[in-house]
A = this chain, B = another copy of it.
Protein backbone atom coordinates (compact mmCIF):
# COMPACT_ATOMS: atom_id res chain seq x y z
CA UNK A 1 0.00 0.00 0.00
CA UNK A 2 1.38 3.41 -0.98
CA UNK A 3 2.23 5.45 2.04
CA UNK A 4 0.10 8.26 3.35
CA UNK A 5 1.69 11.70 3.42
CA UNK A 6 1.08 14.24 6.20
CA UNK A 7 1.26 17.82 4.93
CA UNK A 8 -0.05 21.28 5.75
CA UNK A 9 -3.54 21.95 4.44
CA UNK A 10 -4.08 24.33 1.53
CA UNK A 11 -7.13 26.50 1.00
CA UNK A 12 -8.43 24.23 -1.76
CA UNK A 13 -8.54 21.33 0.73
CA UNK A 14 -11.36 22.98 2.69
CA UNK A 15 -14.14 21.06 0.94
CA UNK A 16 -12.45 17.78 1.92
CA UNK A 17 -11.72 19.05 5.42
CA UNK A 18 -15.40 19.89 5.90
CA UNK A 19 -16.31 16.36 4.73
CA UNK A 20 -13.93 14.94 7.36
CA UNK A 21 -15.19 17.34 10.08
CA UNK A 22 -18.71 16.04 9.39
CA UNK A 23 -17.57 12.40 9.48
CA UNK A 24 -15.86 12.95 12.82
CA UNK A 25 -18.92 14.69 14.31
CA UNK A 26 -21.08 11.80 13.08
CA UNK A 27 -18.75 9.32 14.76
CA UNK A 28 -18.96 11.43 17.94
CA UNK A 29 -22.79 11.30 17.67
CA UNK A 30 -22.87 15.11 17.67
CA UNK A 31 -23.29 15.89 13.99
CA UNK A 32 -26.25 18.21 14.60
CA UNK A 33 -23.75 20.63 16.13
CA UNK A 34 -21.76 21.25 12.92
CA UNK A 35 -22.67 24.73 11.69
CA UNK A 36 -19.43 25.61 9.89
CA UNK A 37 -19.26 26.14 6.10
CA UNK A 38 -16.48 25.57 3.56
CA UNK A 39 -16.41 29.34 2.98
CA UNK A 40 -15.79 30.00 6.69
CA UNK A 41 -13.01 27.40 6.79
CA UNK A 42 -11.37 29.05 3.77
CA UNK A 43 -11.63 32.55 5.19
CA UNK A 44 -10.61 31.66 8.75
CA UNK A 45 -7.61 29.42 8.11
CA UNK A 46 -5.86 30.98 5.13
CA UNK A 47 -5.80 34.75 5.51
CA UNK A 48 -3.11 36.98 7.00
CA UNK A 49 -3.90 36.05 10.60
CA UNK A 50 -5.22 32.49 10.37
CA UNK A 51 -7.47 31.44 13.25
CA UNK A 52 -6.35 27.82 12.93
CA UNK A 53 -3.79 25.56 11.28
CA UNK A 54 -4.52 22.20 9.74
CA UNK A 55 -2.55 19.10 8.79
CA UNK A 56 -4.02 16.65 6.31
CA UNK A 57 -3.24 13.00 5.52
CA UNK A 58 -3.22 12.39 1.78
CA UNK A 59 -3.16 9.10 -0.13
CA UNK A 60 -2.15 8.66 -3.74
CA UNK A 61 -5.01 7.31 -5.88
CA UNK A 62 -5.46 3.53 -5.86
CA UNK A 63 -5.27 1.71 -9.22
CA UNK A 64 -8.47 2.37 -11.15
CA UNK A 65 -9.29 5.45 -9.09
CA UNK A 66 -9.46 8.89 -10.60
CA UNK A 67 -6.13 10.69 -10.28
CA UNK A 68 -5.70 13.48 -7.77
CA UNK A 69 -5.23 13.75 -4.05
CA UNK A 70 -7.52 12.07 -1.58
CA UNK A 71 -7.65 13.33 1.98
CA UNK A 72 -8.28 10.58 4.50
CA UNK A 73 -7.53 12.35 7.77
CA UNK A 74 -6.79 15.70 9.38
CA UNK A 75 -5.56 17.35 12.54
CA UNK A 76 -6.74 20.91 13.20
CA UNK A 77 -4.91 22.94 15.84
CA UNK A 78 -4.25 26.46 17.06
CA UNK A 79 -2.20 28.26 19.66
CA UNK A 80 -3.63 28.88 23.11
CA UNK A 81 -2.17 30.46 26.25
CA UNK A 82 -1.67 28.77 29.58
CA UNK A 83 -1.25 31.05 32.61
CA UNK A 84 0.95 28.32 34.06
CA UNK A 85 3.07 27.34 31.03
CA UNK A 86 2.69 30.18 28.51
CA UNK A 87 2.15 29.59 24.81
CA UNK A 88 0.69 26.15 24.11
CA UNK A 89 -0.92 24.24 21.28
CA UNK A 90 -4.48 22.91 21.28
CA UNK A 91 -5.41 20.07 18.95
CA UNK A 92 -9.09 20.78 18.31
CA UNK A 93 -9.79 17.79 16.05
CA UNK A 94 -7.98 14.71 14.88
CA UNK A 95 -9.61 12.16 12.59
CA UNK A 96 -8.67 9.33 10.27
CA UNK A 97 -11.28 7.63 8.05
CA UNK A 98 -12.17 4.17 9.39
CA UNK A 99 -10.72 2.26 6.42
CA UNK A 100 -7.36 3.99 6.96
CA UNK A 101 -7.15 3.49 10.74
CA UNK A 102 -4.54 1.13 12.20
CA UNK A 103 -1.75 2.38 9.91
CA UNK A 104 -0.30 4.90 12.34
CA UNK A 105 -1.70 7.95 10.53
CA UNK A 106 -3.18 9.42 13.72
CA UNK A 107 0.15 9.00 15.52
CA UNK A 108 1.95 10.71 12.64
CA UNK A 109 -0.40 13.69 12.89
CA UNK A 110 0.07 13.91 16.67
CA UNK A 111 3.85 13.71 16.30
CA UNK A 112 3.81 16.49 13.73
CA UNK A 113 1.74 18.65 16.11
CA UNK A 114 4.29 17.98 18.87
CA UNK A 115 7.07 19.11 16.50
CA UNK A 116 5.18 22.31 15.64
CA UNK A 117 4.56 22.96 19.35
CA UNK A 118 8.23 22.51 20.28
CA UNK A 119 9.40 24.68 17.40
CA UNK A 120 7.03 27.43 18.60
CA UNK A 121 8.53 27.24 22.09
CA UNK A 122 5.54 25.49 23.69
CA UNK A 123 6.03 23.01 26.52
CA UNK A 124 2.64 21.33 26.21
CA UNK A 125 -0.19 20.54 23.90
CA UNK A 126 -3.72 19.82 24.97
CA UNK A 127 -6.73 18.13 23.41
CA UNK A 128 -10.16 16.82 24.42
CA UNK A 129 -11.56 13.35 23.83
CA UNK A 130 -14.90 11.65 24.51
CA UNK A 131 -14.48 9.12 27.34
CA UNK A 132 -16.22 6.33 25.38
CA UNK A 133 -13.84 6.73 22.41
CA UNK A 134 -11.59 4.01 23.78
CA UNK A 135 -9.48 3.70 20.65
CA UNK A 136 -8.49 7.37 20.83
CA UNK A 137 -8.08 7.41 24.63
CA UNK A 138 -5.77 4.36 24.44
CA UNK A 139 -3.71 5.92 21.65
CA UNK A 140 -3.19 9.19 23.52
CA UNK A 141 -2.20 7.33 26.69
CA UNK A 142 0.25 5.09 24.83
CA UNK A 143 1.80 8.23 23.32
CA UNK A 144 2.27 9.70 26.81
CA UNK A 145 -0.71 12.01 27.38
CA UNK A 146 -2.24 12.57 30.81
CA UNK A 147 -5.99 12.52 31.37
CA UNK A 148 -6.43 15.75 33.35
CA UNK A 149 -10.15 15.18 33.89
CA UNK A 150 -9.47 11.82 35.53
CA UNK A 151 -6.38 12.97 37.45
CA UNK A 152 -7.47 16.43 38.59
CA UNK A 153 -11.21 16.68 37.91
CA UNK A 154 -11.34 19.24 35.07
CA UNK A 155 -14.75 19.63 33.40
CA UNK A 156 -15.40 21.52 30.16
CA UNK A 157 -18.19 24.11 30.32
CA UNK A 158 -19.71 26.06 27.47
CA UNK A 159 -21.92 29.13 27.20
CA UNK A 160 -23.67 29.43 23.87
CA UNK A 161 -26.59 30.78 21.92
CA UNK A 162 -29.29 32.35 24.02
CA UNK A 163 -27.34 31.93 27.29
CA UNK A 164 -24.45 33.94 25.87
CA UNK A 165 -26.72 36.65 24.53
CA UNK A 166 -28.53 36.91 27.87
CA UNK A 167 -25.17 37.21 29.65
CA UNK A 168 -24.15 40.03 27.35
CA UNK A 169 -27.50 41.76 27.95
CA UNK A 170 -28.68 41.40 24.34
Interface residues of A (CB under 8 A from B): 21, 24-25, 30, 33-36, 40, 44, 49, 51-52, 76, 78-87, 90, 92-93, 110-111, 114-115, 117-118, 122-132, 137, 140, 143-150, 152-170
Contacts of A122 in B (CB 8 A): 164
Residue in B33, B49, B78, B165 whose beta carbon sits within 8 Å of that of A118 in the complex: B165
Prevailing SS type, chain A contact patch: mixed
Contacts of A78 in B (CB 8 A): 80-81
Cα–Cα, bound, A162→B124 (Å): 10
B153 x A130 contact (CB < 8 A): yes
Cα–Cα, bound, A147→B56 (Å): 31
Cα–Cα, bound, A164→B150 (Å): 20
